[in-house]
Homo-oligomer: A and B are copies of this chain.
Amino acid sequence: MTASRTAELNASKPGKAREVVEDHEEASQIKMGELSELLGYSLKRAQLRIFDDFIRCVASLNLTPAQFSVLLLIDRNPGRNQTEIANTLGILRPNFVAMLDSLESRELCVRVRSANDRRSHILMLTDNGRTILARAKKLVATKHEARLNEVLGPANRTALLEMLATLARDF
């Protein structure tokens, strides 16, 4: 972005154009070598971009991807407790506590002591939580995933999803 902003400034000085060596990628012309072939590298870079875009798309609701996934899972699985939700998301129980504290303080969900097992906390969305989740889903669908379909095309997006699922399953 520093590069593109510099380019704009130079473009506004018609006097001596092209003295800046066709800029674009500034520090680059650095060879990536076999890094371009490393799947893990591309995977991480892509993931960071996607997450950034996700956050941008639901910025008005102040939801991180992790928070969104928690709300989704609670909504789809009423009656589950903390460990069950945390486990299926790969979140460790200790780290899940602060996360729920945050969501609960925003009145998006509540912990209810189970009658069967008074150790566990049943999780459920509040009305407000359901509203926010619905809005988030809409934003994700119309902005985030729509953008993905633009860039990849629907067929590729599906194929990509399938391959990633394969990786997460068979690895």
Interface residues of A (CB under 8 A from B): 27-28, 30-51, 53-54, 65, 69, 72-73, 75-77, 80, 83-85, 87-88, 90, 137, 140, 144-145, 147-148, 151-152, 156-157, 159-161, 163-168, 170-171
Contact = CB atoms under 8 A, between A and B. Distances in A.
A39 B80 CA distance: 25
Given A50-B171, A151-B171, A160-B160, A42 B165 contact: yes
Q: By DSSP majority rule, is chain A's interface helix, strand, loop, or mixed?
A: helix
Contacts of A41: 65, 69
Query: Copy number of this protein in the oligomer?
Result: 2
Contact of A84 (B27, B42, B49, B168): B27
Contacts of A163: 152, 156, 159-160
